[in-house]
């Protein structure tokens, strides 16, 4: 069982109030990635896409679940906010709900 799966199981089975906002952000990120995937699949030349920029959410959104700590939550919210602004002309709009949930998780002391 992977670390992410274990974190999700801990969240759901141990009363999970501390990480519920992070888990909601993860699910919003998965939904955003699915919507972005539809746009990416429709591209005529996928090799011309900026893949490192596209893969930022896949690396940043799960971090608060894998590495607990307020600094990680704030950092993930800041990075995703900047990423949404940079990618706002294309797929960034799909991740705005994820950013909002990451901001809520970062602001909550008990998150």
CB atoms within 10 A of CB 23: 19
Residue 70 domain boundaries? 3-107
pLDDT at 111: 42
- pTM (2 decimals)? 0.77
Overall number of domains in the chain: 1
Name the nearest CA neighbour of 8 among 22, 53, 84, 91.
22
**pLDDT higher than threshold 80 for residue 13:** no
Residue with tokens 């996928």: 46
Mean pLDDT value across residues 11-33 = 76
Q: If pLDDT is split at 50, 70 and 90, which confidence band does 19 have? A: confident
**For residue 88, what are its two tokens?**
């706002």
Least confident of 19-33, 41-55, 64-78: 41-55
Q: Please list, in sequence order, all residues whose beta carbon lies within 8 angstroms of the beta carbon of residue 16, skipping any fewer than 6 positions away.
A: 10, 23
Q: Please list, in sequence order, all residues whose beta carbon lies within 8 angstroms of the beta carbon of residue 76, skipping any fewer than 6 positions away.
A: 60, 61, 63, 64, 102, 106
Q: If pLDDT is split at 50, 70 and 90, which confidence band does 15 have? A: very low
Name the nearest CA neighbour of 96 among 20, 36, 40.
36
**pLDDT higher than threshold 70 for residue 20:** yes
Mean pLDDT estimate for the chain = 83
pLDDT at 98: 94
pLDDT tens per residue, range 57-85: 999 999 988 888 889 999 999 999 999 99
Mean pLDDT value across residues 9-31 = 74
DSSP classification of residue 93: G
């Amino acid at each position: 069982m992977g670390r992410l799966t274990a974190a999700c199981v801990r969240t759901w089975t141990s009363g999970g109030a501390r990480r519920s906002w992070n888990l909601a952000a993860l699910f919003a990120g998965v939904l955003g990635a699915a919507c972005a995937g539809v746009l990416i699949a429709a591209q005529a030349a996928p090799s011309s896409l900026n893949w490192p920029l596209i893969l930022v959410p896949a690396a940043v959104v799960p971090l608060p679940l894998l590495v607990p700590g307020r600094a990680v939550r704030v950092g993930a919210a800041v990075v995703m906010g900047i990423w949404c602004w940079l990618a706002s002309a294309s797929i960034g709009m799909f991740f705005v709900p994820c950013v909002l949930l990451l901001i809520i998780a970062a602001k909550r002391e008990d998150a």
